Amino acid sequence: MSVSAAGPSQGAKAPSGGSAAREAASVGVQRAALVAGEASGDLLGALLLQAMKQRWPDLQTSGIAGPRMQSQGCEAWWPQAMLAVRGYAEVLPHLRKLLKVRKELGDRLLANKPDVFIGIDAPDFNFDLEKRLKSAGIPTVHFVSPSFWAWRAKKLIKLKTAADHVLCVFPFEPALLAEHGIAATYVGHPVANMVPMQPDKAAARAALGLADTDTVVAVLPGSRQGEIKYLAQRFFQACRHIQQANSAIKFVVPAIPALKPLIDKLAAQSGLGEALQVVSGQSHAVLAACDVTLIASGTATLEAALFKRPMVIAYNMHWLSWQIMRRKMLQPWVGLPNILSAEFVVPEYLQEAATPTALAQAVLAWLNQPERVTAVQQRFANLHRELQRDTAQLAVQAIERTLKLS
């Protein structure tokens, strides 16, 4: 299921801006409600809100939002961080609160109906909410299709009853969703437009206080507290092994501000000393500056690919969550660069296989094989070009068409 194999015909070329906008010019939106899950959802939501405000200048928005969405004027009734929980066993301690918030949010939206509801990722939270709102006559749009092509497709049943339209970030998804009777539009991946085709490594290093001659490993252990719990120490132990092989290597961790105190504490205990630098945010600068990244499976792996950086993907979670998840896997890959390429273009180490020694050896292999790095950078450049679209405008046009049909 490689992107290149999918071809441009599968929803990749949404109707052109002028014709679609004119077709739905009579549609007005005064109030929109949004729910974004995790930091990646907050980024998608902010880009979408910017385009929506250009289309509807008087638009008022509210819901569950992160700092980026709030900067675009979205009123956060609850913070986006509360949805940043992944797995099965990991969710249980938070389940009662999440269910309570979802009911209260639904009640509030039904009491004062918005013109449209947009759920951004977070399918386990959003689908039931979308279904309830759709049943009450509120048009619903889901941004980011669940990865039904990688996991067993039970969520498609819920998606069909929940969303009037799906905004897809990968080009092969609309055609697959159409087979299940689900309307969808490929809008591209917004991060593909944020990352230059040729990242400025020298400028990024200067901003981070790194020299052009440094060998730099970016360490990204995740954006959730649970991921930090399971991965950070493992990653730092791998860095110790790398340091033993090459004492001159520098390590940089871009920490989500809310998790920086925890990562700072773990970094201080790592024994890496001044070789390890923890910065607040700046994940794109760190990816641009690095030679290779040791990275948790998730959206960040796609960002690393867009920066054309070789990577070692790892993940470790609660044993019960892993047992459930492994039984749902339809493909041998979990990392987005591998899924989109339909092969192991970068190594993955999951659960017990993600030992510090194995991770260190895989990182060092990239540093010692420049021809392999060149080959993967070309693969990532092709992927980058395929994912570049005017995501925000295409999304707004799809929302307009959905509202016109509702």
Residue 24 pLDDT = 38
Q: From the centroid of its chain, how far is CA 286?
A: 17
Q: Which residues contact 385 (CB under 8 A, 6 or more apart)?
A: 197
Give CA–CA dist 320/133, Å, rounded.
Answer: 33
State mean pLDDT over 141-155. 75
Residue 7 pLDDT = 34
CATH of segment(s) 201-386: 3.40.50.2000
Residue 153 pLDDT = 62
On average, the pLDDT of the chain sits at: 87
- Enter the DSSP assignment of 367: H
Residue 135 pLDDT = 97
Predicted confidence band of residue 299 (pLDDT cuts 50, 70, 90):
confident
Which part of the chain is CATH 3.40.50.2000? 3-188+389-405, 201-386
> Residues for the chain: how many in total?
406
Judged against a pLDDT cut of 50, whether residue 13 lies above it is answered with no
State mean pLDDT over 5-21. 38
CATH domain 3-188+389-405 topology: Rossmann fold (3.40.50)
Predicted confidence band of residue 272 (pLDDT cuts 50, 70, 90):
very high
Least confident of 17-21, 45-49, 127-131: 17-21
Q: Which of 17-21, 223-227, 241-245 has the highest mean pLDDT?
A: 241-245
351 to each of 121, 235, 357, how far by Cα in Å?
Answer: 25, 13, 14
DSSP 3-state of 189: coil
pLDDT of 168-207, one tens digit each?
A: 998 889 998 998 899 999 999 988 998 999 999 999 999 9
pLDDT of 105-138, one tens digit each?
A: 999 999 999 999 999 988 889 999 999 999 999 9
End-to-end alpha carbon distance in the chain: 33
Judged against a pLDDT cut of 60, whether residue 1 lies above it is answered with no
Least confident of 91-95, 221-225, 353-357: 91-95
Judged against a pLDDT cut of 50, whether residue 11 lies above it is answered with no
Residue 304 half-sphere exposure, CB side, CA atoms within 13 Å?
Answer: 31
Residue 398 pLDDT = 96
Judged against a pLDDT cut of 90, whether residue 226 lies above it is answered with no
Judged against a pLDDT cut of 60, whether residue 88 lies above it is answered with no
Note the pTM of the prediction, 2 decimals.
Answer: 0.75
Q: Which residues contact 287 (CB under 8 A, 6 or more apart)?
A: 199, 218, 254, 293, 303, 304, 307, 309
Residue 323 pLDDT = 58
Greatest CA separation found in the chain?
65
322 to each of 88, 220, 350, how far by Cα in Å?
Answer: 9, 20, 9
Predicted confidence band of residue 231 (pLDDT cuts 50, 70, 90):
very high
Q: Is 96 exposed, middle or buried (0-12, 13-18, 19+ CB in 10 A)?
A: exposed
Q: Are 396 and 52 in contact (CB under 8 A)?
A: yes
